[in-house]
Amino acid sequence: MKNTLAIIISVVFCSAVFPQDDELSKSIERGKMVYSENCISCHMGTGEGVTPTFPPLAKSDYLMQTPEAAIKAIKFGLIGKIKVNGVDYDNMMPNPGLGNDEIADVTNYIMNTWGNSSEKKMITEKMVDEIKEKK
């Protein structure tokens, strides 16, 4: 009886804890495809970018310290100077024309690859939708 109760409690606990991890894992997988189709030519296959033209995404202080700014850049494109890992970049990133779901997925992929860690915090489509472009 005690073993059955322990198993039931474990199953309930795991189903409450691991769905986020499972959803994050699925989002990261989808984001990898989005990255391969839209980002890889500039930021490279290992996210190292091309100094000083295309900033790195791997171990990127800009990305990890200001994820909202990174999401905004993916959503609307980016023109102007930014500093990434101590290096100034002043180039243009065009709006890739992605949907909010794709932006969330590619952001989750980037934030959990190449030495980056979101510490299991997931970017959602709703969060991306709330990022607005300042005019």
The Cα 105–Cα 131 span in angstroms is 15
- Tell me which residue range forms the domain holding 55: 38-135
Residue 13 lies in a domain: no
Residue 132 lies in a domain: yes
What DSSP designation does 99 have?
-
The whole-number pLDDT of residue 134 equals 79
**Which pLDDT tens digits describe the chain residue by residue (135 residues)?**
555 544 555 444 544 444 568 999 999 999 999 999 999 999 999 999 999 999 999 999 999 999 999 999 999 999 999 999 999 999 999 999 999 999 999 999 999 999 999 999 999 999 999 999 875
Residue 45 lies in a domain: yes
Amino acid at the residue 38: N
Residue 11 lies in a domain: no
CATH of the domain at 94: 1.10.760.10
Residue 31 lies in a domain: no
Number of domains the chain is built from: 1
Rounding to the nearest 10 degrees, give the CA dihedral for residues 135, 128, 43, 32. -160
What is the SS3 assignment for 20? helix
The whole-number pLDDT of residue 15 equals 46
Residue 109 lies in a domain: yes
The whole-number pLDDT of residue 38 equals 97
The whole-number pLDDT of residue 6 equals 47
